[in-house]
Every structure is written in structure tokens, then in C-alpha cells.
């Protein structure tokens, strides 16, 4: 039995009881376990996942990617486009022209 509760300090649903008996099913030439959709959503699993066997336990985790992956290429692409302009127009304060830098 799964018991779900909403955490009021965080933006996720916590699982209080983590033990569940599941059936191992034949899936084509392999075997597998169906994972309930709310659990997949809570873990952020969609598409692909990292699967490991460690100390006799099957671990399924979201694939961790570098959060800045692709930033350099995107910056080059934006710099080459005409859309590389200031969002806010340049503005100055009164007396800025008298300042010595």
C-alpha cells in the first residue's frame, strides 16, 4: 500500500510508505515491472532513466545532465543573430557624464 502526502514546505508529494509487492511480467523477450504514473512523476522520470544494480538492489534514477549543457552553442547562435540587443534601452543617471572611470 502506498501512502501519499503533500509536503507544505516543498513542491513535491512525499511517499511515506515505500514497500510494495509487484508482479514481474513478461514484456516481449524481457521481463519488467510496471511503475505507477504518480511515482514516475514524483521522481521526474520520463523517456529515459539511469538503471543500476548496486548491492543486490535495482536503482532507477533520472539521468542527471549538466544544467549548462549547450549554453556555449546557444550564446554563439544568439550573438550571430540580429536578436542580440539589450532588453532594456541604455539609460544614464544625471551627472554620469561627469564621472571619471
In a domain, 9, yes or no: no
Per-residue confidence (pLDDT) for residue 18, from 0 to 100: 59
In a domain, 10, yes or no: no
Contact assessment for residue 20 and residue 36, using Cβ atoms and an 8 Å cutoff: no
In a domain, 89, yes or no: no
CATH number of the CATH domain containing 36: 2.10.260
In a domain, 80, yes or no: no
Q: How many residues does the chain have?
A: 101
Q: Between the ranges 15-19, 25-29, 70-74, 84-88, where is the mean pLDDT highest?
A: 25-29
In a domain, 74, yes or no: no
- Nearest in space to 61 (alpha carbons), one of 78, 88, 85, 40: 40
- Based on the structure, what is the number of domains in the chain? 1
In a domain, 62, yes or no: yes
Mean pLDDT of 10-18: 51
In a domain, 37, yes or no: yes
Model confidence pLDDT, tens digit, residues 64-86: 778 888 888 888 887 787 666 66
Range of the domain at 56: 32-66
Amino acid at each position: 500500500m502506498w501512502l501519499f502526502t503533500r509536503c507544505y514546505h516543498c513542491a513535491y508529494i512525499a511517499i511515506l510508505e515505500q514497500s510494495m509487492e509487484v508482479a514481474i511480467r513478461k514484456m516481449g523477450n524481457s521481463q519488467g515491472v510496471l511503475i505507477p504514473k504518480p511515482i514516475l512523476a514524483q521522481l521526474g522520470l520520463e523517456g529515459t532513466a539511469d538503471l543500476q544494480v548496486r548491492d543486490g538492489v535495482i536503482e532507477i534514477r533520472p539521468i542527471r545532465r549538466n544544467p549548462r549543457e549547450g549554453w556555449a552553442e546557444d550564446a554563439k547562435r544568439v550573438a550571430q543573430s540580429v536578436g542580440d540587443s539589450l532588453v532594456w534601452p541604455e539609460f544614464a543617471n544625471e551627472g554620469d557624464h561627469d564621472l571619471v572611470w
